[in-house]
Amino acid sequence: MDEIVIAENVPQAKAKANKKRARKSDAVYQDLKRKILTGTLTADSPITEQSLAKDYACSQSTIREALMLLQEYGLVVRRGYQGTFVTDPTPLEAKLMLKLRFDIESTGILEAAKLVTPRQIEELRELDRDFEEYRAVRDVFGCAEVDRYLHLKLFRIAQMPVLEPVLVRTTMMLQRVMLPTPRSEKAWSRPNVTPHKDIFDALQARNVQGALNSLQAHILSSAVLLAPHFYGSDLGRLKNEYDHEPVQALGLTGF
């Protein structure tokens, strides 16, 4: 259920030789991603390949592969001789990333509503059940992984593959902004967030406007709950700031 992975067409012998290292670099990538998204690893100090290789008992080339993937998704930045650092988005960057996600997914849900099948809706509901299981045990990273994949799977129904990598990177960076903030027990047990279920119910009922409204409310209410230091605590004000007519295929005929 991980992000978009583009497989390289390497010769078979080389692929076999690299298989073990690839598995190790994937494991290192996942663990570093968990530490970054949950705030265990911060921008306060540089990350060195040498120290990580020692920590994970692997080669520096394996660490390098993991760091390159983290950089691809915007979670780390390399600053030459200074080293590699966890990214630290500014408030302006955080607002722009939320707007980008809001716009992409808003258009996506309108297209998905035309194409979605009952089977796809059931698959989304199954992912939501997985999400709720992670929430029940207060697993921040587990929730993040399932949520990101759920939203990507929903967006894929819209058949706009060029934008999928943009959405994945944007969503992951927003998780970088939101997840390190400690959550109260009430925020876990009774979160004031529009649930995924409302989106799926509207899709199943072929209620396009209802699906759009539920998706937008879900994105913005999550931002207010998890990152009020960036987005404020007034959901109505945030909605007014971001609310506009989504781009639609029918509106592109004049281009």
Structural domains of the chain sorted by starting position, each given as residue range(s) with its CATH number in brackets: 12-86 (1.10.10.10), 91-248 (1.20.120.530)
In this predicted structure, the answer to whether residue 136 has a pLDDT above a threshold of 90 is yes
For the residues 115-144, what does the mean pLDDT come to? Answer: 97
Q: Tell which wins on pLDDT, 146 or 187.
A: 146
Encode pLDDT of 194-248 as tens digits: 999 999 999 999 999 999 999 999 999 999 999 999 999 999 999 999 887 777 7
Both tokens of 123, joined, read 């698959």
Cα four-point dihedral sign 197, 200, 204, 206 = positive
First to last CA, the chain: 37
Enumerate helices (H) and strands (E) in the chain, giving the number of each: 12, 2
Encode pLDDT of 75-123 as tens digits: 999 887 788 999 999 999 999 999 999 999 999 999 999 999 999 999 9
In this predicted structure, the answer to whether residue 10 has a pLDDT above a threshold of 90 is no
In this predicted structure, the answer to whether residue 20 has a pLDDT above a threshold of 80 is no
Asked if residue 176 lies in contact with residue 75, where contact means CB atoms within 8 angstroms, the answer is yes
